[in-house]
Amino acid sequence: MAIFSTLTPVFLAVLCILIAIIFKNFKKSEKKPKTDSKPPVPSRPWVDEDLEDDTEINPGEDDEELAESEGDVSHVPFSLPRYSEAEMLHRSQEFYALMNGRRSVRFISPEPVPRDIIENVIRAAGTAPSGAHTEPWTFVVVADAQTKSEIRRIVEEEEEINYKLRMGEKWVTDLKRLRTNWVKEYLDTAPYLILIFKQTYGMHPSGKKRTHYYNEISVSISCGILLAALQNAGLVTVTTTPLNCGPQLRQLLQRPLNEKLLMLLPVGFPSEDATVPQLSRKPLDDIMVFV
Ligand SMILES: Cc1cc2nc3c(=O)[nH]c(=O)nc-3n(C[C@H](O)[C@H](O)[C@H](O)COP(=O)(O)O)c2cc1C
């Protein structure tokens, strides 16, 4: 008994040291992934941190979603026009020819475009498939001259920093042949700017967050359809992803925090003196693997 009572303080001291070591190691292992997942900015300058998903839905927070999604959806018959083989071949060739004529045009005429056409191309973009049919997109159409100028100011200011400091020599050299720089006249001249936001999460009527599965993939597909619809309507655009402009543009356009700017498309007719880089596209053999 006497031995036991003399040993107790020693035992307690050893126990304290052990707990301290375990706690220290735990803190170290907690910190490690953070340094791994956030490499220094210059090594991946094309990563727009604002675009990183912040769905942040805590366990239990989407219980309501579960209850809602359990509601039954009726299933209805589906049919599609059935074309002859010759007709299918013809249609596929026609569509390819139409899309092969699409080019990124950086010289856009101020000539007005009827609003109905813009509404239809956005309707078409809204037909895209989306993760669990969450439709996580917002298309902001800007026609107001003052707002367009303010967008141009924000984009050019950031783009100048991107070109001079963030992008690095290799990226800037890759862009040289396209003759692009931070001056974006089309942001003023195009009759419309379409800013496409991905909604990283949605909201239930109760105000609770709703998961938007695969929101970036879904919105990117809808952007592809939008590009095709513009081409089909006889309009041009240039796909742009203004690096680090998201928060300022979101604020300017009064969009909520769950909306992240994915793409900015100036839309209109090409200007009369428009030119495009003479690029060729990879042949089928280089892009298709048939198994
Ligand atoms: C995700 C993405 C981002 C792009 N960002 C820009 C951009 O910021 N500025 C620009 O002038 N072009 C941009 N482009 C357009 C490309 O340079 C263009 O698509 C490419 O050179 C091929 O030319 P084409 O579109 O005429 O076929 C982007 C294209 C994509 C798909």
How far does residue 180's CA lie from ligand 1's centre (Å)? 10
Q: Flag whether pLDDT at 66 surpasses 60.
A: no
The predicted pLDDT at position 174 comes to 80
pLDDT of residue 168: 79
Instruction: Measure 7 CA to ligand 1 centroid, in angstroms.
Output: 74
- Tens digit of each residue's pLDDT (9 = 90 or more) over 227-241: 999 999 999 999 999
Distance between Cα 205 and ligand 1 center (Å): 38
Residue among 240, 279, 280 whose CB has most ligand 1 atoms within 8 A, to mutate:
240
d(CA 280, CA 109): 25
* Eight-class DSSP state of 37: H
pTM of the model: 0.82
Residue nearest to atom 11 of ligand 1 (CA): 180
User: What is the residue whose two structure tokens read 């609003």?
Assistant: 115
Q: How confident is the model at residue 115 (pLDDT cuts 50, 70, 90)?
A: very high
Length of the chain: 291
pLDDT at 64 over 60: no
Percent of the chain with pLDDT over 70: 77
Range name among 174-183, 188-197, 275-284 with the lowest pLDDT average: 174-183
- Ligand 1 pocket at CB < 6 A: 103-104, 106, 178, 180, 238-241, 276, 279
For the chain, the straight-line distance linking the first and the last C-alpha, in angstroms and rounded, comes to: 79
Round the average pLDDT of the chain to a whole number and report it.
86
* Sequence letter at residue 30: E
> Which protein residue has the closest C-alpha to ligand 1 atom 9?
240
Q: Alpha helix locations (H) across 162-270?
A: 168-176, 186-189, 215-233, 246-252
- Whether the CB-CB separation of 105 and 270 falls below 8 Å is answered with yes
- Residue ranges of alpha helices (H) inside 101-260 are 115-125, 145-161, 168-176, 186-189, 215-233, 246-252
Ligand 1, residues 175, 187, 217, 241: which to mutate, most atoms within 8 A of Cβ?
A: 241
**281 phi, psi to nearest 5 deg:** -105, 150
Task: Specify whether the CB–CB gap between 197 and 259 falls below 8 A.
Answer: yes
Q: Helix, strand, coil shares of the chain as percentages rounded to 5?
A: 50, 10, 40
How far is residue 223's CA from residue 14's CA, in Å, rounded to a whole number?
63
- The whole-angstrom separation of Cα 91 and Cα 85 is 10
Residue 32 confidence (pLDDT): 43
How far does the centroid of ligand 1 lie from the alpha carbon of residue 264, in Å?
11
- Beta-strand pair 192-199/259-267: antiparallel
Question: Cα separation of 242 and 269, whole Å?
Answer: 22
Predicted confidence band at 1 (pLDDT cuts at 50, 70, 90)?
A: very low
Sequence-ordered list of residues with C-beta below 8 angstroms from that of 177, at least 6 positions apart, any chain: 277
Using the predicted structure, report yes or no on whether residue 2 has a pLDDT greater than 80: no
Q: Is the per-residue pLDDT at 54 higher than 80?
A: no
The pLDDT confidence band at residue 60, using thresholds 50, 70 and 90, is low
- Ligand 1, atom 5, lies closest to the CA of 240
User: Which residue segments constitute the domains of the chain, with CATH numbers given?
Assistant: 103-273 (3.40.109.10)
Protein residue whose Cα sits closest to atom 20 of ligand 1: 104
